[in-house]
Amino acid sequence: MNLSDLSPQDFDALTRDHARRHALSRRGFMGAGLSLAVLAGIGLPGTAAFAAGGSGVLRVGRAEEPDTLDPHKTSLSVSSDTMDLILEPMARRDADGNVGPGLAESWEFSNGNRTLTFKLKPGVMFHDGTPCDAAAVAWTVERHMAPETASVSTFFIGPLERVEVIDPQTIAYHYKEPFVPVWVGMCLGYTAPISRAAVEAKGDQFGRAPVGAGPFKFVSWSPDRGMRLERNENYGPVAMPPSLEAVEFIHYPEDTTRLAAFDTGEINAIYHGASVPVDAIRRLRNNPDVTLMERPAQMMRAIVFNISKAPFDNPLVRKAVAHAIDAESMIAFAMDGNAVVATSNIASSLSGYNPATKDMGYAYDPEKAKALLAEAGHASGLSVSLITNDTAAIRRAAEIIQAQLGEVGIEVKVQSMPIAQWVPETLRGEQDMVISTYTYSDADVVYTTLHSTGALNRLFHKDADLDAWVSEQRATSDEAARQAILDKIQEYVLTEALWKPLFEPLNFAIVAAEVENAELTTGGQLLPQHISIKS
């Protein structure tokens, strides 16, 4: 089935379904192909659930701080979370990943699904009072794509050829090819319009004081006081203004301090990434004054073998390692139980995951591991190297791997390094194993992690079949057919023991008792525009 041949309604339905099922983190992209379209128009759930114009400040503690709030100069998720409040993207997703209107009130696909035409809501203004119309959207997109902008986030707009202003409320996006993951970027601040007047007035300081049309206005950001956003009273043309008077983000790099600030009431919410440390979950769960929310994260932690050289060029040795590792005890010790056992190279929360892999893995069986090692000619043991990034949970996981493999006679030399070093160091291929980690919203992650030209592939294999399957799943529009290919890939990875999947972490958020209507999204965020504070 060709994507261009699908009816616009079917194509739209396909893109929405893609966005809902693959919601999550925001990084996803790449074109998994599939089908179809409609006219937009579902209301944003939750906006009518509380009174607008209330008081109260949500004070959020986060482990990370944005680098810049210029949507074309950042690719950090903490910046994205913040920009989503200040800027108004064309569409927005609810907590469960369903796509609904944002700045656009409706849209339709045409021209063989290569053109996406938005009808914008009338009367929307940027926070500086300039109009947020089709011309503003077009100027923003052109800035995003301009080589001199050197944007690190252009991949969020996909294979866009140009935009065309049809009238002040109508704008068409012309793509080079039908682009199924279109809503991943279109629902994020990265692609949202920004005020041209503000960009021209502020120059390189725009990223420190962005002006958009979102539910909250940027007020201040300083290293000493963090960031303050205040309710956009003129949000009416887009949606009901938030109940919160303001949102403040405060950066606490140290876990202990962040939790102390929550305990003392300096902040009343913690969310984003690893801001709620897994070590504290047990205590927080038992605290009646704290509302703890959790949701599976689209993340993977796995051992990836370097199969281009001994000893892991021998499948028996890889299988021995797979049998020697007890993922459940690893989750207990490294994550204090806050993760699920991974059974495949595709995370179980991703569409495309093959549930049959639950019965295909390598059960913890040290005796079998020893027997396999003996069969491979390593009865007297062997020594291998493992490179990991230096986050605390991964370091702990590496220590457990070292101990568990030690029990079957495999000595592991662990090297732990910052991610900036991990990328080029592991690309050299001198190691025997790595702990690979990814956060991704689409099963197409198999391309970057398994294809021989994939940027995050650390197998160092030359496997024409695997490459062909990985390429094929990208180009297959029929969902069932694509799933069949993905199933085959996952089975192959397991039977050949190319990876030893370890665990999939969870996302957490906590709020104090006075915080109401907080809901953790599939991507691990809260939506402050829906939150209110009990007076």
264 to each of 37, 161, 260, 399, 512, how far by Cα in Å?
A: 50, 52, 6, 35, 11
- Binding residues for another protein, total number by CB under 8 A: 54
Percent helix, percent strand, percent coil in the chain, to nearest 5: 35, 20, 45
Q: Does 50 interact with another protein (rule: CB under 8 A)?
A: no
Residue 62: CB atoms within 10 Å: 25
Q: Does 218 interact with another protein (rule: CB under 8 A)?
A: no
Which is nearer to another protein, 4 or 256 (by Cβ)? 256
Taking CB under 8 A as the criterion, the residue among 51, 200, 222, 289 binding another protein is 222
Cβ of residue 389: shortest distance to another protein, in angstroms? 8
Q: Does 287 interact with another protein (rule: CB under 8 A)?
A: no
Q: Does 254 interact with another protein (rule: CB under 8 A)?
A: yes
Only segment of 86-94, 144-152, 375-383, 505-513 that touches another protein (CB under 8 A): 144-152
Structural tokens at position 522: 């599939």
Q: Which residues, in sequence order, are bridge partners of residue 433? A: 305, 386
Q: Which of 328, 360, 329 has the alpha carbon at shortest distance from 346?
A: 360
Which is nearer to another protein, 233 or 263 (by Cβ)? 263
Pairwise CA distance, residues 263 & 260, whole Å: 5
Pairwise CA distance, residues 285 & 267, whole Å: 18
Radius of gyration (C-alpha) of the chain in whole angstroms: 24
Which is nearer to another protein, 23 or 382 (by Cβ)? 23
| Site pattern 177..216 for another protein (x: CB under 8 A) | ---------------------------xx-xx--------
Taking CB under 8 A as the criterion, the residue among 50, 139, 155, 492 binding another protein is 155
Output the DSSP codes for 446-502.
HHHHHSTT-TT--S----HHHHHHHHHHHH---HHHHHHHHHHHHHHHHHTT-EEEE
Taking CB under 8 A as the criterion, the residue among 13, 57, 219, 423 binding another protein is 423
Q: Which of residues 429-488 bind another protein (CB under 8 A)?
A: 438-440, 445, 448-449, 453, 455-456
Only segment of 4-12, 121-129, 227-235, 252-260 that touches another protein (CB under 8 A): 252-260
Beta strand 170-175 with 160-167: parallel, antiparallel or unpaired? antiparallel
Asked if 18 and 42 count as a contact pair (C-beta separation under 8 A), the reply is no
Asked if 258 and 63 count as a contact pair (C-beta separation under 8 A), the reply is yes
Taking CB under 8 A as the criterion, the residue among 200, 224, 289, 359 binding another protein is 224
Which is nearer to another protein, 47 or 79 (by Cβ)? 79
The interaxial angle of helices 392-407 and 327-334, nearest 10 deg, is: 140
Which is nearer to another protein, 321 or 393 (by Cβ)? 393
Taking CB under 8 A as the criterion, the residue among 200, 223, 380, 464 binding another protein is 223
User: Which alpha helices (DSSP H) does 43-160 contain, by range?
Assistant: 77-86, 134-145
Q: Does 77 interact with another protein (rule: CB under 8 A)?
A: yes
Given the rule CB under 8 A, which residues bind another protein?
27-30, 67-68, 70, 73-77, 147, 150, 152, 155, 204-205, 207-208, 222-225, 250-254, 256-258, 260-261, 263-264, 266, 418-425, 438-440, 445, 448-449, 453, 455-456
